[in-house]
Amino acid sequence: MTMFKITAIPALNDNYIWAIHNDSVAFVVDPGETEPVLEFLAANQLALTGILCTHRHHDHIGGIAKLRAVYNVPVYGRCHPGNPHISHDLQGGEQLKLDAFGLSFDIIAVPGHLDDHIAYYASAGSGILFCGDVLFGAGCGKSFEGTVAQLYDSLKKLSELPDATLMYCAHEYTASNLRFAAICDPDNPAVQQRISDTRELRAANLSTVPSTMQMEKATNPFLRYNDADIIKVLQQRGLTDTSGQAVFTALRLWRDKF
């Protein structure tokens, strides 16, 4: 029996605040805004019992202070001087049990977007991953802190999760990411299929998230650094080192200017 549901609370321009909830209580992931969360809780007669943070960017933590003025709940995440809200520090390697939902999360350190970025993975059902701004639908986060090599290592770690894992990222970026995928991976039919599926979903105002790790491995260039066709496209642009890290780095730099 499933003891929880996961519901998207749209916020800001293109953020998703994910709510993990049952019939009475909820956790939220990365509340960048307060009002949409309070409205969701009221509409569903839920009490907030905790907050999960993936990293300290304002569009992920901006709603925490006001939420905690209403609900004095624990805030899990990685302690950082730029994030004053964390009450329970997670560095990566720990487990976090949320008994109300029958969930146990593995905490995975995924630096490369920001140093304090962590991801939450639970094997329940097909598998659940909250990955913030590290992995997106058909794309990945920008490297703001640390190195692109760290971002590569972090994505590699996530790509080792089971194929069926549901990937809950924090932004609706899939359509724009697919425009890049279509250029660097032009002969991939899975990319073309995802472009048309994404167009239909967005036209109906539906979310493209969650996707699966399997879908990302088939269509996300940033998990396809071993793909011969992508490597060939990059070689035509001057790439000589075809190691996974060099291919990934070339893709990230190209995407930054795309």
Binding region for Zn ion (CB under 5 A): 57, 133
Q: Which helix (H) or strand (E) holds 218?
A: helix 213-219
Q: Output the smallest distance, CB 46 to Zn ion, in A.
A: 26
71 or 144: CB nearest Zn ion: 144
30 or 185: CB nearest Zn ion: 30
CA nearest neighbour of 195 among 209, 177, 210: 177
CA angle 41, 47, 53 (to 5 degrees): 80
Q: Output the smallest distance, CB 236 to Zn ion, in A.
A: 32
Three-state DSSP state, 164:
coil
Distance CA 27, CA 21 (A): 6
Q: Output the smallest distance, CB 237 to Zn ion, in A.
A: 27
Distance CA 119, CA 133 (A): 9
83 or 249: CB nearest Zn ion: 83
Sign for the pseudo-dihedral over CA of 209, 213, 218, 222: positive
**DSSP state string for 130-141:** EEETTEETTEE-
Three-state DSSP state, 62:
coil
Q: Output the smallest distance, CB 81 to Zn ion, in A.
A: 17
57 or 224: CB nearest Zn ion: 57
Residue 144: both structure tokens together? 């703001």
102 or 146: CB nearest Zn ion: 146
Q: Output the smallest distance, CB 244 to Zn ion, in A.
A: 24
104 has which bridge partners?
97
